[in-house]
Amino acid sequence: MNRRLGVLISGRGSNLQALIDAIREGRLDATIAVVISNREDAEGLEKARSAGIEALALSHRGWPSRDDYDRAIARELRSRDVGLVCLAGFMRLVGAPLLDAFPNAVVNIHPSLLPAFPGVEAQRQALDYGAKVSGVTVHLVTPELDGGPIILQRVVPVLSDDTAESLASRILVEEHHAYPEAVALLLEGGWRVEGRRFTLKSANAASA
Ligand code: GRF
């Protein structure tokens, strides 16, 4: 697989930073070709620039349609020969023009154990629901919000004295391990998607 990443963000960019660090430390064999934010004031843009990575603000406003915006992002990514698109706190639904341009090559990180608690404020949702465990999911992106095949998950216990903030910060620690790990797995190849199931071909062969 083409190891050039395009990272899409909207804000803080701590998962972007985790990818940058993993590459720098040799845990992830990849190059971040470009970081694109739909918000000009995203802190992550500065994180990218400090690491010497091209950082682009491309607002979602002012396009005739959502698809036009997605097409514009796809164009920017393709012109930089991106092979894998990593959503890292990108607060936009990704539609067909972008997904079709990168089939099975758009990945997202979500702070809950999907399919529980999709959408915004997943950590607060888990707490308010009374879940005893929550965690992290890295998944392939499909048109359904937070609904694509699951690549990996990590469990984080919900403690009795947790607030949404304390739970979110413990989950975030796991996110920063899980995302580079999942991206490395994807880039390694040897996996397939059957229906909703993401499986490693070698693991299948071993258990066959
Ligand atoms: C993370 O919790 C991620 O799971 C979710 O949005 C948040 C982004 O945080 N999709 P950051 O911008 O990577 O710090």
Q: Which residues have a Cβ under 8 Å from the Cβ of 51 and sit 6 or more positions away?
A: 20, 24, 32
Q: Which residues pair with 198 in a beta bridge?
A: 193
Grade residue 203 by pLDDT with cuts at 50, 70 and 90: low
Q: Is the pLDDT of residue 76 over 60?
A: yes
pLDDT value at residue 201? 84
Grade residue 96 by pLDDT with cuts at 50, 70 and 90: very high
Among the listed residues 110, 139, 176, 177, the single catalytic one is 110
Pocket lined around ligand 1, Cβ cut-off 6 Å: 9, 11-15, 44, 88-89, 109-111, 172, 175
Say whether 110 is catalytic. Answer: yes
Q: Is the pLDDT of residue 8 over 60?
A: yes
207 alpha carbon to ligand 1 midpoint, in Å?
35
Q: Is the pLDDT of residue 143 over 50?
A: yes
Q: Which atom of ligand 1 lies at the shortest distance from residue 172's CA?
A: 2
Nearest Cα residue to atom 9 of ligand 1: 89
**Can you tell me the distance from the alpha carbon of 110 to that of 87, in angstroms, rounded to the nearest whole number?**
10
Q: Which residue has the higher pLDDT, 208 or 57?
A: 57
pLDDT > 70: percent of the chain? 97
Average pLDDT score over the chain: 96
The pLDDT of 24-46, averaged and rounded, is 98
Q: How much is the pTM?
A: 0.95
Q: Is the pLDDT of residue 204 over 50?
A: no
The pLDDT of 70-94, averaged and rounded, is 97
Q: Which atom of ligand 1 lies at the shortest distance from residue 87's CA?
A: 10
Q: What is the pLDDT of residues 160-175, one digit of tens each?
A: 999 999 999 999 999 9
Whether residue 137 contacts residue 153, with contact meaning beta carbons closer than 8 Å, is answered with yes
| Listed residue (92, 105, 87) closest to 63, CA to CA | 92
Grade residue 151 by pLDDT with cuts at 50, 70 and 90: very high
